[in-house]
Structures are given as C-alpha cells and as structure tokens.
Amino acid sequence: MVVTNEDELYDRMALYRSHGMRRKRYYWHDLVGHNFRLTNLQAALGVAQMERLETIIFERKRVHRQYQSLLSENPGVTLQYYQPEVDGVLWAVALKLDPKAYPQGRDAVIDQMKEANIETRPGFVAPRYMDQLYACPKLPITEELSDQVLSLPTYPTLKEEQIELICDQLKKLKR
C-alpha cells in the first residue's frame, strides 16, 4: 500500500501498479510496471487486517521484545537496532550472524533451523544476486550483510514458549 498526498507520486505508483500503462492507449507502456492491483479477496483481507492493526502491532512488538531479551546477551548474534526515537512496526525480526560464531554460514543455519521445524529466511538479497535486474557497482558491505542477515518468525500469534524454542535452537547451532 502506498499512501501519499503528492499527486505526482500517486500517478507514478498507479503506473507501476497497472503494468506501466495509463489506459489512454491500450498496450502502450510508459514504464516497466507490474500487475500490483489487489483482487477483491486481497482487498477484503487487507480491510480485515486494518481493523486489527493496533493488536497486530502490539503483538509484533511483544515478539520483538522477547527476542531482544533472549538473544541480546548471545555473542555471535546482533539484533536489528532501532533508535529510541523510532517507533518501528516490525514485519520481521532480523539479526546478523557473526561468521566466527556461525562458520557454517547463514544459509546452512536456515537449513539447520528448518530441520528443527523452524522456518527462517534470508533478511534480504543483495543486488549482486540479481544482476539481471540491477547494474550496480560492487557493494561489499551490503553483500556481506546479505550473506549474514537472518529473519526469525515474527507473526503476532507466536507464543513465548515458541520464541524460547527458536532462540534455544539458534544458540545450539553456534560453534
């Protein structure tokens, strides 16, 4: 969702959402776009989620606080940090694995967590892995972070004992 009061930004985002076409001439593309329009079902789900937004934000912050409590004293793991004046809304809890503590690498940790029935994901993908889309110079810090950042389960209904299990498993994988 994009919310703006700038007409120019709205028009550009509407183009991206609708195949890059203005609909003045069919199949004439002003820019490379995609089909980001919601279906009726997706819109209904979004409206339902908006009705629960405060609860979802509260629960995700609870999950984040518990991860902080359980992992902040764990050498080899650096949790995502927010400045005190930032009121972040978490989509996922991200952490950076120190290669000395986790020499098997982030991808192996993801596989090992999966073997324990815990789904984790890469934090993000560096542009170098998508060179067919991006022509950019080497970005060594971005690439290093891309190889080390892991996202933990962060859904709002995650129970405290599940978070403890996730953290315990992550600690067990440290060398």
Domain interval for residue 108? 52-172
Give the closest residue to 59 by CA, choosing from 157, 126, 169, 129: 157
Distance CA 134, CA 55 (A): 38
Distance CA 47, CA 49 (A): 5
What is the predicted pLDDT for the residue at 2? 78
How many domains does the chain divide into?
A: 2
Please determine, for residue 165, whether its predicted confidence score (pLDDT) is greater than 70. yes
**Residue pLDDT, tens place only, 100-132:** 999 999 999 999 999 999 999 998 878 777 776
Same domain, 62 and 111: yes
Give the closest residue to 134 by CA, choosing from 64, 24, 94, 142: 142
Same domain, 24 and 79: no
What is the predicted pLDDT for the residue at 68? 94
**Residue pLDDT, tens place only, 24-80:** 666 677 777 778 778 999 999 999 999 999 999 999 999 999 999 999 988 999 998
Task: Classify the C-alpha dihedral 60-62-65-71 as positive or negative.
Answer: negative
**Residue pLDDT, tens place only, 64-103:** 999 999 999 889 999 988 898 998 878 889 999 999 999 9
